[in-house]
C-alpha cells in the first residue's frame, strides 16, 4: 500500500466547474479503503468531490449529534449507528451493512505462541476497552464463550481503540492481542495465530447510513451504492474486509 | 512666603500608609531647594507635583495650568495626567530603563525626533561621552544618575523636579552640573525644584528654600532669609546650626536695636525682636563659623557693645576639618558645650597651643528660634 | 557568575554541583531518549516520501496556518486581558485568574465536547450564530477556536506574570517623560515583559500545534481543512505506523527549527538584564 | 494605580478602556460559555451518583495521587534543572532549552508512543530495565512518567524565566551576608522566583491532570491503577455521556477549588513587590 | 603608604568591559575613606574585596586571611567565597530584599538567632523605630539606606565596606550615624572602608584616605597628609582645591625654608621642596579658605616674609554661601581668577562695600602638585 497517498484533488481550479461536495464520516480503520473508493467515485462522477472525516466512531457520533455537516456515516460498529437511529439523526431507510470483519488473535512476530490455548500462560493481553471499543466487545464475548475470560482477568490491558491493541503487540508490550483481520493485515510485525471461531461472537458488521439532514442526499445515495456494489466490495476485500 | 509671581502652587493632602502629608506652598520663579530630614516627605512632594502620586484633595497648579484639583467634599476631581504635565522628573532611584542603552534612555522622552540638544552634546555635558551604547547596568552609580538627569532635560520640560540629583556625584562633576543647571534655568526660564541633603548644594544652586518635616512645610523663603533666620530649632539644626543658647529676656536698649537675655546667669546681647516680652524664655542659635575667636591683643580695640558678648572658654576638643579646625568649647557659666569652626590661618595665629581662648558672639549672628 | 567563581574553593560545593549535574542529566535523558527512539524508529523510512505527499503537505499547512492565526488571536485578545488582570488587583481578578486556568485542566476531548456544547449548532452561542447562518463547528476556524481554548491560558498566565514583575517606577517615569499610557505600554511595559511573553507564546504555540482531542471533536478531521498534523498522525497511525512516525518526526524537526530560530532572535539582545556580573 | 488615576481626565483614554474591557469580555465569554454549557448539560444528572461510584472515587484518587507525585518529581528534578539553565548561559543551554520545549509540541498520543518506544519492554531504556526485572509500562508509575513528560516543560520553562528575572545584586548581597549558595537559593532566589514557580506549577499540574493521550498509551487503562479521571471520562463518554459530563464537572469543580486555594495562599503575601503606588 | 600593621592588602587586576582596573594598596587598621571621580572604580574596589567580583589576577588579604590569590601565569587560583569572608557590605543601591520586611532584612545575615545587637536596638540606632514591619518599597530613600547599613552591621563582620553610606541622609541623622560608626569601629576594632563624595564625611570619619582615578590608586595616606598635600592636580581638585598657580622656580632662601617662583611675572614665596630644580615649571594649589583677606590697616603689621605674597585683587563676583562668602577675584598680573572664602564676620568687617581688596597667600598653605 502507498503510504500517505491522500486523495488528490481531481482536476483543479482551472477546470472551473463548481463541484458538489459529499462529506463522509467514517471510522478511522476505513481510511485506506474509503480513500481509494473516494478517488474512484470522483472519477466516475465528475462534478463531485468527496471529503472525509476519519475519526473514532464515538467521536463521529458525538459530532453528528452536535450538528457535524456530514452526509454519510460509516462507523466500525452497529452500536453508534443504532444510537443515532434512535435519536433520529440517521435516515432509517438508508442503513445498509457493507462489510464484515473477523476477530483474530495476534502475537508478536518472534513469539513462540502457536495456538489459542496458550493464551492462559501469557502475561499481558491487549484488547479494546469492551465498554467502548467494538473489537473489545467482540473479544470479550468470544473469550467468555470460549471460557478464557475469567482466567485472563488482571492480564488484560484495555485500549482506547484496536490500533492501540495492535501497537502493543507490535512493540511486544503485550504478548498477544485481539484485533480485526484487516488491522492485522496492515502490520508486518505481528503474526496471526488464529481467527476466533465465528460462532463465539456476533458477526462484526459495518453499517453505513445517510444522515436525515444530509445536504447532498443524491451523492450520498450514490456513495452507498458504490460501497455496497461490486466495485466497492472489490476494493474493500483488497483491504481484508469480507462481504457482510 | 517669597514674593514674586507664583509659579507653582501646591496645597495637597495625601495619605501613605499611616503617614499623612499636608503640603501648602507657593513658589515664585527660580530654583528651589527642598530640605528636610530623611523620611519627611520630600520625595512625596515631588511625586505629587509630577503626578505619580495623587493627593486625596487639594490643588496643584503650575503657572496658570491646573495639575490637580479636588475640593474636600466633592466627589469629582480633575487631574492632568503626568504625560501632559511637561515635567522633567528625576527620581531618587533614577528609574532608568534596563532594556535600553544610555542613548536610548536619554532620548526616550524626546518627541518627534527633535531633541532640544543633540544627544552627543548632552552626553558631553554630562561627562558621559563614549558611554552612549552601554547598558544601564554597565554604568557606575554616578554615571547612572547623570543619565537620569540628561533624560529629564532632553524633553524640554517646563518644570524640573530633581530628587537628590547630585547624591552620587563627585565635587568636580557636581560643580559643573550645578553651573550647567543654573545656565539652563536662566536661558530657558525653567523653574527647578530639587531635593537635597547637602547644604552647599542648596546654597549654591537654590534661590529659595523649602524646609519640610513630618509631611509639612516648616519654613519657606529666600535662601539667605532661611539660612540666616531659621524659624525653629528643628530647621536650624537641619541647616547646620549646632549651638543653641537658651535664656530669658531681661531688657533692651533704648533704640530697640538690641535686647539682653540672661544666659545661665550671664548677660548676652541679642538682636531686638518684635513681640518678645520681658521674662519670656527664648532660644537662640548660632553657627560654629560665626563664633569668632578674639585675637589675644584685640579686646582693647573692640567696640564697646561687643564686650558684653565676649566669653572665655576652655578648648575641650580639637578636630582638624577640611576647611579649618572644629573646636569644642566649654564655658564656666553653663554646662552646654559649643562647637566653633576656625580657619586654618586663624587657628595657626590665635588658637594653636592655647588651652583657653576668648570668643565673641556677635549679636547679628544670633538667631531667634521661635 | 556568583556561584561559578567560588565553586572551585570548596569541595562541599563540588559535591552539590555533581548532584545538580545529575538532576540535569536525568531530566535531559528523560526527554532525549524518547526523541532518540523516534528517530531510530525511522531507520529505513524514506522521509522524502513525506515531502511529496499531499497529505503531509496539507496537514503541515493546516497546522501552521491555524496555529499562526491562533497565536495572533491570542496576542490581540490575550495581551490586553493579561495586562488588565496584572494591573488591577481585586477579588474579581483573583477568581478571573482561576477561571483562566480551568481550560488547562480539562482533558482535550472534554474541551472539545464543551466547545461543541457552547458553539455547536445546538449550543448556547452556536444556536444564536446558526440563526445568522454562521456555522463554526467543523470549520477551519473551529480548529483555531479549539487551539485558543486549550492553549490560551498558557500565554495569558505567563503574560500576567511578566507584567506583574515590572517595577512600576519605570512605567511612572515613562509617564513623566511625556509618554501616554499607550506609548508607555509599548515602549516600557511590553519590552520588559517580553521574555515572559515569548516564553508564554512558545508554550501556547507548542500546545496548539500538538492539540488533538479538542480539535477532532470540535472541528472534525477534514484533510485540507481541519486535518492538522496531529490528526493526520492519528489517521496514519491506524493504517500505517511508519508513516505516522515519519509525520511525527517531521513535526519535531520543524518545531525544533522554529524554536531554535525564536531562541536565536531572543538572544540577539541577550544580557539585557544581566551584565558581566550576572 | 498609574493608569487608573488619570483615566477620568481624558476621554480618549476612556475609549481605549472600553476597547480593552471588550477584549477582557470576549476572552472570558469564550472561556465561560463552554463551562456554563457543561453545567447546563448536567441538569437532571444526579451528581450524588458520582460520590458513591467506586469508578469515580478510584479515578479521582489515581488522578490526584499521580499528579501529586508528578509535581514532586518535577520540583525535585525540574527546579535544579531550571536553576542551572537560568544561571549558565551558553550555546549548550540554548539548545537545551529548545529540547526542553519539544515534548510540548507532540500530540499526546505520539508522546505516549515515544515513551513506549523508550521505556517499553523492548524500548531503548526499557529493555535494559526489563533485564533487571523492572517493568515501567502499564504501571502507576507510567502515569507519572507520562505526566512528567508532557507537563514538565511548562514548569521548567516558567521557572527558568523566573530565575532569570532576579536581580543578581540581591543574590550577591546575600552571599556577602554570610549565606552559602544553598541558603542564598532558598532565602533569596527561591522566594523571589516564587510567583513564576507557582504559576509554572499550576500550569504543569493542570496539564498533568488533563493528560489523556500519553497516559492511555503508555500506562494503559487499569481502573484503580492507571485509570485517571480523563481516562474514566473517556470510557464513560462512549457509553454514558451524562456520566462522562458528570465526571468532567466533578473534575472542574475540584480543580476550581484547588486553584482558588492556591490563589488565596499566594495572595497572603500579596503586594510583595508593589505597594500603594503599584 | 600609611604606617602601621597592614590590615587589608589589595593588589588586583580586573577588566570590566573596556575598563582595566589595577589596584595596589595596603591599609592599616582604621577607617578609610575612598574618594574619586564618578566612574573611577571605587565601587569596583569594594566589590573585589567583598568577593562579588573576582580579579583576573592578584592578591587580596585581610589580616592573615587570604581572600584571593592568583599569580599572573598560573592557571589555578584560590578564592575564598564571599560568604566566608565575614564582610559587612553595603552596596550603592542597597540591595535590599523586596520579599522581606525591614526587620527580616536587618536580621537576614544573623547566624543562629544570635544578633550582635537586639533588632529593636538596631532600629532605634538607625532611627527606624516603628518601621520594622514595613516592606522595603514603603520606605523613603534614606530609610532604605539605613536598613542596608543596619543589615551589614548585624552580622558582626570583621571588615565593613560601605559604598556611599550617607548619600541619602540628612545632616542630623548622618552626624549621629558617623558618631555611631566611630564608636563601633573603636569598640569592636572593626576596620571600615567607605566610599564617599562628601569631603566632610571623609574628614570627620576617615583616618586614612585613598584617592582613586581611572581604576588606579592616585594617592593614599593619613587624611591630614592627603588633604594638606595632595600629590596631583586631579587629587587636589577632588579635594576641593579650586585655585591653581602655575609658575617657574626662580630661587630659594638660605635656610631652605622657602622657594620663590615666578607667577606670571610676580614673585611668590612657596614652601621649600626637595628635588625641585631652578627653572622647573611647577603648579601650586591653594584652597579658597586659606587665602586670607588682609585687614585694611593690617599690612603694616605683617611679618616681612609675608609681604612678598600680598596681592591686590578686584572682586569680580560675590556669592553668599552657607558658612561665609565666596568671592571671585581677578588679579592685575595674571588672567587666572581665584576663588576665596571669607567668613561672615570677616566679610562684614573687611570686604563689604569694597571693590578691591588685598589678599595674602601664606606659603604654608601653598601646596606643590607634582
Ligand atoms: N507606600 C508607603 N506606605 C507607607 N509609608 C510610606 C510609603 N511610602 C513612603 N512612606 C513613608 O512616607 C514618608 C515620606 O517618604 P518620602 O519618600 O517622601 O521621604 P523623603 O523625604 O524623600 O526621605 P528621604 O530623604 O529619605 O528620601 C516616609 O516616612 C516613608 O516611610
Ligand atoms: N559591566 C560593566 N561593563 C563595562 N564597564 C563597566 C561595567 N561595570 C562598571 N563599568 C565601568 O567601570 C567604571 C568603574 O565603575 P565603578 O562602579 O567602580 O565606579 P565608581 O567609582 O563607583 O563610580 P560612582 O562614584 O559613579 O559610583 C565605570 O566607568 C563604569 O562605566
Ligand atoms: Mg526621598
Ligand atoms: Mg560607585
pLDDT confidence of residue B74: 80
E209 Cβ inside 6 Å of ligand 1: no
Higher pLDDT, E296 or A199: A199
**Inter-chain contact E81–C276, Cβ cutoff 8 Å?**
no
The reply to whether D124 falls in a domain is: yes
pLDDT confidence of residue E194: 96
Q: Which CATH number do you get for residue C273? A: 1.10.3720.10
- Dist. CA E140 → ligand 3 center (Å): 5
**Inter-chain contact E204–B321, Cβ cutoff 8 Å?**
yes
Q: What is the pLDDT of residues C190-243, one digit of tens each?
A: 999 999 999 999 999 999 999 999 998 899 888 888 899 999 998 888 777 888
pLDDT confidence of residue A2: 39
Q: What is the pLDDT of residues E139-168, one digit of tens each?
A: 999 999 999 999 999 988 999 999 999 999
pLDDT for residue B299 is more than 60: no
SS (H, E, C) D76-134: HHHHHHHHHHHHCCCHHHHHHHHHHHHHHHCCHHHHHHHHHHHHCCCCCCHHHHHHCCC
Predicted confidence band of residue A17 (pLDDT cuts 50, 70, 90): low
CATH 3.40.50.300 location in chain B:
6-237
pLDDT for residue A59 is more than 90: no
E91 Cβ inside 6 Å of ligand 2: no
Contact A127, A136 (CB under 8 A): yes
Q: Quick check: do D and C touch, 3+ CB pairs under 8 A? A: yes
Q: What is the per-residue DSSP string for B51-100? A: TSS--SEEEEEETTEEEEEE-SS-S--EE--GGGS-EEEE-TT----TTS
pLDDT for residue A4 is more than 80: no
Closest in C137, C222, C235 to A31, CB measured: C235
Residue with CA closest to ligand 1 atom 17: E140
pLDDT confidence of residue D148: 94
Residue with CA closest to ligand 2 atom 17: B140
E173 Cβ inside 6 Å of ligand 1: no
Q: Which of C2, C6, C165 best tests the E interface by mutation, with the highest count of E CBs <10 A?
A: C6
B283 Cβ inside 6 Å of ligand 1: no
What's the mean pLDDT when you consider all of chain B? 88
Q: Quick check: do B and C touch, 3+ CB pairs under 8 A? A: yes
SS (H, E, C) chain E: CCCCCEEEEEEEEEEECCEEEEEEEEEECCEEEEECCCCCCHHHHHHHHHCCCCCCEEEEEECCEEEEEECCCCCCCEECCHHHCCEEEECCCCCCCCCCEHHHHHCCCCHHHCCCCCHHHHHHHCCCCCCCCCEHHHCCHHHHHHHHHHHHHHCCCCEEEEECCCCCCCHHHHHHHHHHHHHHHHHHCCCEEEECCCHHHHHHHCCEEEEEECCEEEEEEEHHHHHHCCCCHHHHHHCCCCEEEEEEEEEECCCCCEEEEEECCEEEEEECCCCCCCCCEEEEEECHHHEEECCCCCHHHCCHHHHCCEEEEEEEEEEECCCCEEEEEEECCCCCEEEEEECHHHHHHHHCCCCEEEEEECHHHCEEEC
Q: A103-112, B41-50, E288-297: which has the minimum mean pLDDT?
A: E288-297
Among D119, D114, D124, D117, CA closest to D150: D114
What's the mean pLDDT when you consider all of chain A? 85
Q: What is the pLDDT of residues B307-345, one digit of tens each?
A: 788 888 999 988 877 777 889 999 988 888 899 988 888
Predicted confidence band of residue E95 (pLDDT cuts 50, 70, 90): very high
Contact B167, E167 (CB under 8 A): yes
CATH number, domain E6-237? 3.40.50.300
What's the mean pLDDT when you consider all of chain E? 88
Q: Which chains touch E (3 or more CB pairs under 8 A)?
A: B, C, D
Q: What is the per-residue DSSP string for B260-301? A: EEEETTEEEEEE--TTPPTT-EEEEEE-GGGEEEPPTTTGGG
Q: What integer is the mean pLDDT of D113-130?
A: 89
B191 Cβ inside 6 Å of ligand 1: no
The whole model's pTM is what?
Answer: 0.89
The CA distance from C64 to C67, in Å, is 5
The CA distance from A174 to A176, in Å, is 5
pLDDT confidence of residue D121: 86
Q: What's the longest Cα–Cα distance across chain A?
A: 64
Predicted confidence band of residue B31 (pLDDT cuts 50, 70, 90): very high
Q: What is the pLDDT of residues D6-45, one digit of tens each?
A: 333 334 456 666 777 787 788 888 888 889 888 888 877 7
- Distance (Å) from the C-alpha of residue B200 to the closest C-alpha of chain E? 7
pLDDT by residue for chain C (278 residues), tens digit each?
A: 233 333 333 344 566 667 767 877 888 888 888 898 888 888 777 777 777 778 888 999 999 999 999 999 999 999 988 998 888 877 777 788 888 888 988 999 899 989 988 988 888 888 888 888 888 888 899 999 999 999 999 999 999 999 999 999 999 999 999 999 889 999 999 999 999 999 999 999 999 999 999 998 899 888 888 899 999 998 888 777 888 889 999 999 999 999 988 888 876 654 444 432 22
Contact D114, C38 (CB under 8 A): yes
Q: C106-115, D1-10, D44-53, E260-269: which has the minimum mean pLDDT?
A: D1-10
Predicted confidence band of residue D135 (pLDDT cuts 50, 70, 90): confident
The range of the structural domain enclosing residue C186 comes to: 47-277
The reply to whether D122 falls in a domain is: yes
Q: Which of D115, D238, D247 best tests the A interface by mutation, with the highest count of A CBs <10 A?
A: D238
Q: What integer is the mean pLDDT of B128-132?
A: 91
Closest in E50, E99, E135 to D176, CB measured: E50
Predicted confidence band of residue B4 (pLDDT cuts 50, 70, 90): low
Closest-approaching ligand to the CA atom of B171: 2
Q: Which of E44, E82, E89, E155 best tests the D interface by mutation, with the highest count of D CBs <10 A?
A: E82
Q: What integer is the mean pLDDT of D142-148?
A: 95
Total structural domains within chain D = 1
**Inter-chain contact E79–C277, Cβ cutoff 8 Å?**
no
Q: For chain C, where are the alpha helices, taking DSSP H only?
A: 2-7, 11-41, 48-52, 54-73, 79-87, 91-105, 108-119, 126-131, 140-164, 168-176, 181-184, 190-210, 213-218, 229-239, 241-268
pLDDT confidence of residue C85: 86
Higher pLDDT, B258 or D92: B258
pLDDT confidence of residue C8: 35
State which of E44, E166, E193 you would mutate to test the pocket of ligand 2, scoring each by most atoms of that ligand within 8 A of its C-beta. Answer: E44
The reply to whether C22 falls in a domain is: no
Q: Which chains touch C (3 or more CB pairs under 8 A)?
A: A, B, D, E
Q: Which chains touch A (3 or more CB pairs under 8 A)?
A: C, D
Amino acid at each position: 500500500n502507498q503510504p500517505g497517498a491522500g486523495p488528490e484533488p481531481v482536476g483543479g481550479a482551472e477546470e472551473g466547474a463548481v463541484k458538489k461536495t459529499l462529506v463522509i464520516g467514517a471510522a478511522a480503520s476505513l481510511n485506506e479503503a474509503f480513500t481509494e473508493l473516494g478517488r474512484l467515485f470522483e472519477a466516475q462522477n465528475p462534478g463531485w468531490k468527496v471529503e472525509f472525516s476519519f475519526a473514532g466512531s464515538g467521536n463521529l457520533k458525538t459530532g453528528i449529534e452536535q450538528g457535524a455537516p456530514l452526509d454519510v456515516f460509516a462507523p466500525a460498529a452497529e452500536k453508534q449507528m443504532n444510537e443515532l437511529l434512535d435519536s433520529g439523526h440517521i435516515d432509517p431507510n438508508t442503513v445498509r451493512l457493507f462489510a464484515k470483519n473477523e476477530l483474530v488473535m495476534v502475537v508478536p512476530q518472534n513469539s513462540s505462541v502457536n495456538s489459542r490455548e496458550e493464551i492462559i500462560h501469557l502475561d499481558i493481553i491487549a484488547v479494546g476497552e469492551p465498554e467502548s471499543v467494538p473489537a473489545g466487545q467482540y473479544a470479550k464475548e468470544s473469550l467468555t464463550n470460549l471460557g478464557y475470560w475469567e482466567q485472563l482477568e488482571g492480564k488484560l490491558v484495555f485500549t482506547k481503540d484496536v490500533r492501540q491493541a495492535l501497537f502493543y503487540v507490535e512493540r511486544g508490550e503485550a504478548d498477544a492481542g485481539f484485533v480485526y483481520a484487516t488491522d492485522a493485515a496492515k502490520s508486518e510485525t505481528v503474526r496471526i495465530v488464529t481467527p476466533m471461531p465465528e460462532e463465539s461472537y456476533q458477526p462484526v458488521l459495518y453499517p453505513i447510513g445517510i444522515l436525515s439532514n444530509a445536504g447532498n442526499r443524491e451523492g450520498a445515495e450514490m456513495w452507498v451504492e458504490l460501497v455496497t456494489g461490486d466495485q466497492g466490495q472489490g476494493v474493500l476485500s483488497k483491504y481484508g474486509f469480507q462481504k457482510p | 512666603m517669597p514674593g514674586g509671581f507664583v509659579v507653582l502652587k501646591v496645597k495637597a493632602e495625601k495619605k501613605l500608609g499611616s503617614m499623612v502629608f499636608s503640603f501648602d506652598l507657593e513658589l515664585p520663579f527660580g530654583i528651589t531647594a527642598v530640605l528636610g530630614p530623611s523620611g519627611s516627605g520630600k520625595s512625596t512632594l515631588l511625586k505629587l507635583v509630577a503626578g505619580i502620586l495623587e493627593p486625596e484633595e487639594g490643588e496643584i497648579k503650575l503657572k496658570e495650568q491646573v495639575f490637580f484639583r479636588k475640593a474636600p467634599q466633592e466627589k469629582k476631581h480633575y487631574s492632568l495626567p503626568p504625560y501632559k504635565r511637561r515635567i522633567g522628573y528625576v527620581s531618587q532611584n533614577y528609574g532608568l530603563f534596563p532594556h535600553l542603552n544610555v542613548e536610548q534612555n536619554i532620548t526616550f522622552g524626546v518627541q518627534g525626533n527633535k531633541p532640544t540638544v543633540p544627544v552627543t552634546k548632552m552626553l558631553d555635558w554630562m561627562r558621559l561621552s563614549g558611554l552612549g551604547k552601554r547598558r544601564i547596568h554597565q554604568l557606575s552609580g554616578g554615571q547612572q544618575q547623570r543619565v537620569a538627569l540628561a533624560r529629564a532635560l532632553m524633553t524640554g520640560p517646563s518644570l524640573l523636579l530633581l530628587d537628590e540629583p547630585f547624591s552620587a556625584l563627585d565635587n568636580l562633576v557636581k560643580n559643573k552640573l550645578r553651573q550647567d543647571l543654573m545656565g539652563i534655568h536662566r536661558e530657558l526660564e525653567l523653574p527647578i525644584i530639587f531635593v537635597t541633603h547637602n547644604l552647599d548644594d542648596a546654597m549654591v544652586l537654590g534661590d529659595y528654600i523649602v524646609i519640610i518635616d513630618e509631611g509639612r512645610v516648616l519654613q519657606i523663603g529666600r535662601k539667605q532669609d532661611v539660612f540666616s533666620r531659621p524659624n525653629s530649632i528643628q530647621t536650624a539644626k537641619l541647616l547646620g546650626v549646632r549651638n543653641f543658647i537658651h535664656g530669658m529676656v531681661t531688657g533692651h536698649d533704648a533704640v530697640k536695636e538690641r535686647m539682653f537675655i540672661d544666659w545661665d546667669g550671664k548677660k548676652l546681647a541679642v538682636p531686638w525682636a518684635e513681640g518678645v516680652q520681658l521674662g519670656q524664655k527664648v532660644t537662640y542659635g548660632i553657627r560654629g563659623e560665626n563664633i569668632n575667636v578674639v585675637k589675644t591683643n584685640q579686646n582693647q580695640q573692640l567696640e564697646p557693645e561687643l564686650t558684653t558678648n565676649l566669653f572665655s572658654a576652655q578648648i575641650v576638643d580639637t578636630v582638624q576639618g577640611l576647611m579649618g579646625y572644629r573646636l569644642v568649647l566649654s564655658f564656666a557659666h553653663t554646662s552646654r558645650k559649643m562647637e566653633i569652626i576656625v580657619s586654618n590661618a586663624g587657628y595657626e595665629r590665635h588658637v594653636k597651643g592655647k588651652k583657653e581662648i576668648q570668643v565673641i558672639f556677635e549679636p547679628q549672628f544670633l538667631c531667634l528660634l521661635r | 557568575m556568583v556561584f561559578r567563581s567560588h565553586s572551585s574553593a570548596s569541595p562541599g560545593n563540588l559535591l552539590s554541583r555533581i548532584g545538580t549535574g545529575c538532576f540535569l542529566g536525568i531530566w535531559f535523558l528523560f526527554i532525549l531518549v524518547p526523541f532518540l527512539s523516534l528517530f531510530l524508529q525511522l531507520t529505513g523510512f524514506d522521509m522524502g516520501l513525506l515531502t511529496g505527499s499531499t497529505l503531509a503537505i496539507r496537514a503541515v499547512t493546516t497546522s501552521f496556518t491555524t496555529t499562526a492565526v491562533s497565536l495572533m488571536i491570542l496576542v490581540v485578545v490575550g495581551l490586553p486581558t493579561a495586562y488588565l488582570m496584572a494591573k488591577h488587583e481585586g477579588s474579581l481578578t483573583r477568581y478571573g485568574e482561576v477561571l483562566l486556568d480551568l481550560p488547562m485542566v480539562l482533558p482535550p476531548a472534554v474541551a472539545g465536547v464543551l466547545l461543541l456544547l457552547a458553539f455547536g449548532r445546538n449550543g448556547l452561542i452556536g444556536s444564536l450564530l446558526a440563526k445568522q447562518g454562521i456555522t463554526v463547528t467543523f470549520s477551519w476556524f473551529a480548529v483555531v477556536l479549539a487551539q485558543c481554548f486549550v492553549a490560551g491560558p498558557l500565554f495569558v498566565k505567563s503574560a500576567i506574570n511578566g507584567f506583574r514583575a515590572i517595577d512600576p517606577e519605570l512605567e511612572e517615569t515613562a509617564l513623566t517623560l511625556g509618554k501616554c499610557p499607550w506609548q508607555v505600554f509599548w515602549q516600557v511595559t511590553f519590552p520588559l515583559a517580553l521574555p515572559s511573553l515569548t516564553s508564554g507564546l512558545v508554550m501556547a504555540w507548542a500546545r496548539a500545534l500538538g492539540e488533538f482531542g479538542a480539535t477532532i471533536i470540535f472541528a472534525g478531521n477534514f484533510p485540507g481543512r481541519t486535518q492538522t498534523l496531529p490528526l493526520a498522525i492519528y489517521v496514519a497511525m491506524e493504517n500505517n505506523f511508519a508513516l505516522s512516525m515519519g509525520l511525527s518526526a517531521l513535526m519535531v524537526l520543524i518545531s525544533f527549527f522554529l524554536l531554535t530560530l525564536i531562541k536565536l532572535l531572543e538572544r540577539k539582545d541577550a544580557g539585557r538584564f544581566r551584565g558581566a556580573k550576572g
